[in-house]
Structures are given as structure tokens and as C-alpha cells.
Amino acid sequence: MAFIRVGPDDIDMATEIACLQSEPGEIGGIASFLGVVRGGEGHSAITAMTLEHYPAMTEAAIRRVAEEAEARWNLIGCRVIHRVGRIPVGGRIVLVLTAARHRQAALESTSFLIDWLKVGAPFWKQEHLISGKDHWVEAKSADDLAAQRWLVVAPPD
Amino acid sequence: MKLLYFAWLRERIGLGEEEVTPPSSVVTVADLIAWLRLRGPGYVEALAETARVRCAVNQDFAKLDTIVRPGDEIAFFPPITGG
């Protein structure tokens, strides 16, 4: 059963893993991706980042794709936690956890979910530069390509 | 209809949401964008490049030819940068 949470609170990875492990089913592996605010260098060095989202749409959009991942990789469960608001350098932004009977399904579905979140969930990042200026992060075409590759990769048996 | 603006579109237009009643000639998202551009320089600046503007109608991603109706919730925003 997919668990989705979007909000300002920090992410406690150990608690989230324990929750996922308590799901009924014969779990053979849990894979994770934890996204963290990078500091950058030189003129692009930042102190923090602010994440804005479209509240009425975000959770429903993530839930749709998380349920798709559960069906495609026959997952025992998954958790997607995405923070919003201001997060300092080094702070946790997003956690994706997936539980499956075997590692390949857990690892691939985690990669699928984070690739999709980059382009498919309505979040926008604003960087707060050390110079005091603010700047909205531009979308990368590489992220579109990363998400698109999952349209052609066949799921494991 | 209710309009929502996010990220730099919100900043350029100067508000996060508003209720509008466009004329009946506004049928699609593209028509709505063209009509909004008449509302002031902030709208022109925000909506100048449609290639950099994304849209959702009633919380579903939409295209320029998606139909808009009275009562719809229509959001405009830049390409997504989540994760």
C-alpha cells in the first residue's frame, strides 16, 4: 500500500523504514533514495532552497504513480515523503522507499519513482544564493530523458 | 473560473490566485492565455513564452488545446523541478 506525505516536517529515515517493514508480506529488500540540498560552488553557491507545490494536485499525482510502481514491480509497499518550504543546505528534501521480495524490483522501482518525481509532481525549487539573490531552478531536459526511459524498459518478471 | 499561479509566474503576475470570468470566446487554454495577456504587463511577462508555461485543468496536466469551462480550476506554472 503506497504511503505518501507532503509537508514541511523533516524526514526520519529510520522511522519510515520501520513503518515500511511492518507492512504485511515477505519483504526481501528495501531500497531507498534520499534527496539532499546541495550547496553548490562559486557564484551558484546557495544557503538554502525553498520548495513550492500545488497542494490540491501533489499528493494525488504522487499516489497515482506510486500505485503504478507497486503494480508494475509487484511491490509489497512503498513510501514517498516530499518536503516543502525552506530547507537549508544539507537538509533532506525527498525520501523514496520501496519494499519487494527481491532487490531488482526494489532498486528499479525506486529509480523509476525518483526519476518521475523530478518531472511529474508539481514542485518548484527556488535557490537562495549566498549573494542574497533568489533564483528559480530551471527544468533540465536530462530529467525528462531520465523519466522517459521508464516508458520503454520492460519490468522484471 | 479559478486561476492559480505558481513559482515565477506567481511572482510576475503578482498574485497566487484569482477568480475570473472570461468572455465566451475563450474556449481553450491557449485562448485563456491570450486573454490573460491583455490584463497587464505582469501577465504579459509571465505568459510571454508558452514554451516555458505548463498548465493543469482541474488538477490534471493540460495542453494548449484543452477546453476550459466556467467553474474550472486552472493552474499555470513553470516546468516542474521536483525530487
Grid coordinates representing A60 are 494525488
CA angle A112, A114, A119 (to 5 degrees): 100
Q: Is a pLDDT exceeding 80 seen at residue B8?
A: yes
pLDDT at A157: 45
pLDDT at A34: 98
Q: Do A118 and B56 touch (CB under 8 A)?
A: no
Residue A11 · residue A83 · CB < 8 Å: yes
What parts of chain A have a pLDDT lower than 50? Answer: 153-157
Q: How far is A138 from chain B (nearest CA, A)?
A: 7
Q: Region B3-20: what's the mean pLDDT?
A: 97
pLDDT at A156: 46
Looking at the domain B2-77, which fold is it? Ubiquitin-like (UB roll) (3.10.20)
Q: Do B78 and A60 touch (CB under 8 A)?
A: no
Give me the residues of A, 12-51, that contact B with CB < 8 A: 35, 51
Residue A46 · residue A89 · CB < 8 Å: yes
Q: Do B83 and A60 touch (CB under 8 A)?
A: no
Q: Do B59 and A139 touch (CB under 8 A)?
A: no
Q: Do B7 and A136 touch (CB under 8 A)?
A: yes
Q: Give chain A as a 3 state SS string.
A: CEEEEEECCCCCHHHHHHHHHCCCCCCCEEEEEEEECCCCCHHHCEEEEEEEECHHHHHHHHHHHHHHHHHHCCCCEEEEEEECEEEECCCEEEEEEEEECCHHHHHHHHHHHHHHHHHHCCEEEEEEECCCCEEECCCCHHHHHHHHHHHCCCCCC
User: Taking CA atoms, what residue in B is nearest to A123?
Assistant: B82
Quick check: A138 contacting B, CB < 8 Å? yes
pLDDT at A152: 52
Closest CA to B66 of B19, B74, B39, B53: B74
Who among A82, A119, A126 is closest to B80 (CB)? A119
Q: How far is B28 from chain A (nearest CA, A)?
A: 21
pLDDT at A147: 77
Ordered by where they begin, the domains of chain A are 2-151 (3.90.1170.40)
Q: How far is B6 from chain A (nearest CA, A)?
A: 8
Grid coordinates representing B70 are 466556467
pLDDT at B71: 96
* pLDDT over 70 percentage in chain B: 100
Quick check: B77 contacting A, CB < 8 Å? yes
Closest CA to B79 of B43, B44, B50, B48: B50
* pLDDT over 90 percentage in chain B: 90
Q: Region B6-34: what's the mean pLDDT?
A: 96
Who among A82, A115, A124 is closest to B80 (CB)? A124
pTM (predicted TM-score): 0.90
Q: How far is B62 from chain A (nearest CA, A)?
A: 13
Give me the residues of A, 72-131, that contact B with CB < 8 A: 82, 93-94, 114-115, 117-126
